[in-house]
Chain A
Amino acid sequence: MKTKSDFKGEIINIENIAKDTCKMDILSSMEKASAGQFISIFCPNTTLRRPFSIANFENNTITILFKLKGEGTNYLKNLKKGDNINFLAPLGNGFAIENKKSLLVGAGIGIAPMIFLKNTLNKKNIENLLITGFKSNNEIIEGSDRTVVGGSVLDYLDEIIKNEKIEMIYSCGPLPVLKGITGLSKKYNISSQIAMEKVMACSIGVCRGCIIKLIKNNEVINASVCKDGPVFKGSEVIWD
């Protein structure tokens, strides 16, 4: 059986977990996934599929988290337990896990792949700490070791990196947070891996719609978020 495919999955759980935020568990025949990879769901009411980070994968069950944003997520929100969905998965490259004391930084819905990563690190007995920032109390998604409400999660990281002797940072969230993470990793000379987001058309690497610039071996190259990413080394990303 092919590892990547066009899957049909059954929704076995869907619930509201915070303000405008849902959690969905999908049962399918997908056999493998790693933290940082995503699935691309067909939504009948939109032209393009919608990509979602995998927030956990266990017993053939994919968990995704989504924030209500537009027509795609509105379609998903109204689905019920027992409904079927079509999706392409598992897409992209996940985090390259290293046996190093790790700091995981989520911002808002960017917590999704961080939860999966934390579960993976825990299973491998790799020491880690997940800190996540949310705009307000009613938007908090459970699962972090530390939660920051209001302000920027970046403001708390210097202290943690120094006190906890962090050797690796993983992050997912809005661009300013990811940019801040790469700045910190440079400052403390530790590696970082960041999961990027960009509007996608094909989600499998053919259309070149979701391109970012990387610097590799002193050369500027195009990389697609969907196939070459969504996880990139922080030190390689060129910020506009």
Chain B
Amino acid sequence: MGLENIKTTLKNNQRTFEIKSPIIGASGTYGYNDEFEDFINLNYFGAISTKGITLEKRAGNEGDRIFEVQNGMINRIGLENVGIESFIKEKLPILNSKNIDFILNIAGNTIEDYEKLAKIANDNKIKAIEVNVSCPNVKSGCLEFGLNPDNLFQLIKKIRKNYNGFLIVKLSPNTSDIKTIAKAAQDSGADCISAINTLRGLGIEIEFDGKKFNKKSVKGGLSGPCIKPVALYMIEEIRSSTNLPIIAMGGILKLSDLFEFISAGADAFQIGTANFIKPSICTDLAVELSDFIEKNHFKNFEELKKKIKETK
């Protein structure tokens, strides 16, 4: 059973992505989707975005990968993943058997990597892909496309040629001009924008043990409630330069966060770090959103969105 009043359609011209709820599990926080089943009911999930998948298997970064900060965390996983071949062979059948929509998150070092991944996604009839051009934790590629509008334009154009499904581009906040970048995504054929990926951050722990200082540090991507104001700002900027649907993320924890992101220009949401705090959060928020709509006599999520966006 789904919640009828929050069914969502993300739409760009003729291409659509229909989901049971506007609440999506963010890439990297849902694995390949078999791990969370012990803890939650996935029926109310809009979709999950898979871990970032690359052409070849990746072992990820050495050393400490997680650093907790006030109201957030820093990660430097480094795109550890099984590689597209294993994903198609081992993980895709699991996902397909579960009656849950998913978005294939893809990342690469070169344009050719992305082109190949897009072709494989197309051949396997994957409904939606999220092009990751914003991972701060890998040495080459990826972010280079996300920070330069011309590079991004060339990349998305090439991907578009190989992929007919719903093409989402995940943008980085680590830029001074997200408007131009969002516009480049739209002009090159993207159907939707998701934002924001993590912010660059550095966590340092330095403690005195009575004799000497001991230091531990982790440099990576900052996420969690502490980045919400940055995310809201970025979503509003993106909304001002494109009319593509926007999937917003960055520190979402509660129902009022969803309203704030709608007000900034969002059409759907991704939940990341909060899954670690509360594994049932995506389901809980879907139910809360649906109840709010019903209790306050809105027709559906679309109408609620319209009312919020009209509020200046």
Point out residues on A near B: beta carbons under 8 Å: 2-6, 42, 46-49, 88, 199-211, 222, 227, 240
Contact = CB atoms under 8 A, between A and B. Distances in A.
B35 A88 contact: no
28 contacts: A2-B38, A6-B280, A47-B68, A47-B69, A47-B70, A47-B71, A47-B73, A47-B276, A47-B277, A48-B277, A49-B276, A202-B275, A202-B276, A203-B276, A204-B35, A204-B39, A205-B31, A206-B30, A206-B35, A206-B275, A207-B29, A207-B31, A207-B75, A208-B51, A208-B80, A210-B65, A211-B65, A227-B35
Contacts of B67: 199
A46 B68 contact: yes
Nearest to B274: A47
B141 interface: no
Contact of B36 (A3, A42, A206): A206
Interface of B: 28-31, 35-36, 38-40, 51, 59-60, 63-73, 75, 77, 80, 224-225, 273, 275-280
Contacts of B40: 6
Contacts of A202: 29, 275-276
Q: Give the 4 A-B CB pairs with smallest separation, nearest first.
A: A206-B31, A209-B66, A4-B38, A208-B80
A42 to B, nearest CB: 7
Given A42-B277, A204-B39, A204-B279, A48 B68 contact: yes
Q: By DSSP majority rule, is chain B's interface helix, strand, loop, or mixed?
A: loop
Interface centre among B60, B73, B224 (most CB of A within 10 A): B73
B35 A205 contact: yes
Contact of B75 (A42, A46, A209, A227): A209
A49 B64 CA distance: 17
Given A48-B276, A49-B276, A206 B29 contact: yes
Contacts of A6: 39-40, 279-280
B31 A201 contact: no
Interface centre among B63, B77, B224, B225 (most CB of A within 10 A): B77
Nearest to B272: A207
A47 B29 contact: no
Given A48-B277, A199-B67, A222-B80, A211 B29 contact: no
A66 B47 CA distance: 38
Given A200-B66, A207-B77, A47 B224 contact: yes
Given A48-B277, A208-B80, A201 B38 contact: no
A42 B281 CA distance: 13
Contact of B66 (A2, A201, A204, A227): A201
